[in-house]
Structure 1
């Protein structure tokens, strides 16, 4: 028979300042033939990649993905050729120049360029993750003590610990402005929030 205990979930949150802008760029071209669409899409993506390389974005911070080719149709269902698309994700580590780099990359590819997403990240979140875990455990302990008091019992030893998920999400200061004519997107890093959750069971003493 299981003895008395209390199980609670604690949450810890740590605000951090992002130091990386993740730009999900791409190229998309519609042409009369598959090969023509592929060639033009590839050329546009090479133009984007060349700008990133000249800006000092290292090979490890550039990754291509999501290559697609599909038949294009007009509003009335008439075939309009073939569309080729591909994405390129870049991690930009200088936030002061990141917007200009993105703008230059898009400008190099012209009408074929696509900006799918901009997001912020922390290059090394380990310290913040550890702090979030500590806060999550303390939060759980505070709750457990209160439940023990309400039950007119005393908190015993920890019997089980189960870690939940960790995440990094934008805080209230996060903002991303639209692209201005002739320039790159204006970005504000704001804050990210590293969070952790933990479920802990304590025994209850008389």
Structure 2
């Protein structure tokens, strides 16, 4: 009798465990969307996962620059640091005065670097010894960054600066004071390019392009000026010839679309 009751107890416990397992499996299947179908009678698949199309689009717009940033430096050498500094100060003062006279505003003039460097002579060893370097003088370098907003005067400004003492240059960057409009055009082109790519991919896959899920813009890198086929402006014969070319602004966007299968 006791053995029979024990066997019945084990049987009931096994049935309860099996029933509980069945309920857990059903709940898991319900959570995963198993057995569910969409409006067209197709399985939904795993809940939370949706088919998407991810593409990137590129846009590019160009415009003629309206401003140049010029790096100019005055370099002076002398026996003493004081003499080199005095000579440099006089030359740079003349350069700044000439720039202001040419119409460069105070806000467009900025010191970009200043240094005083000792100059050494390194004697050649004669008897296998290593003689110490000999101090022969000092060099003073004073640099200024100049924004030239009237590009028609750029050649004249460069020519006059060199005549007054500028003897080292760090390059010219052609840019735009307010490039927002041309960047906006590049952004529109980038988004249109992304949409066109997504439509081609959806058509090739036999699906319907759905709603926009995500749109982001990648940080852009400045592109060097693209030379024009001919010089944009003609300058006087006694001025430095300058070709302004064009500036290009590139925009890249990342776009994610849902897929209506």
Of the candidates 140, 144, 150, which is equivalent to residue 198 of structure 2?
Answer: 144
Of the candidates 130, 138, 162, which is equivalent to residue 184 of structure 2?
Answer: 130
How many residues are matched? 199
Q: 2:72 aligned with 1:11, yes or no?
A: no
For 1:22, the equivalent position in structure 2 comes to: 69
Q: 2:228 aligned with 1:170, yes or no?
A: no
**Cα distance in 1 between the residues matched to 2:159 and 2:171:** 13
Q: 2:241 aligned with 1:186, yes or no?
A: yes
SS at match of 1:170: coil
Displacement after TM superposition at 1:11 (Å): 1.1
Displacement after TM superposition at 1:63 (Å): 1.0
For 1:40, the equivalent position in structure 2 comes to: 87
- List per-residue Cα deviations over 1:98-124 (Å, max 9, x = no partner): 101111012111xx5222212211121
SS at match of 2:210: strand
Structure 1: state its 5+ residue gaps.
Answer: 177-181
The RMSD of aligned alpha carbons is 2.1
Displacement after TM superposition at 1:174 (Å): 7.8
**Cα distance in 1 between the residues matched to 2:218 and 2:114:** 35
SS at match of 1:30: strand
SS at match of 1:118: strand
Displacement after TM superposition at 1:175 (Å): 8.5
**Cα distance in 2 between the residues matched to 1:101 and 1:108:** 11
Greater RCO, 1 or 2 (C-alpha within 8 Å, sep 6+):
1
For 2:24, the equivalent position in structure 1 comes to: none
Question: Does the 8 Å contact 2:58/2:250 carry over to 1?
Answer: yes
Q: 2:211 aligned with 1:157, yes or no?
A: yes
Q: TM-score, normalised by structure 2?
A: 0.70
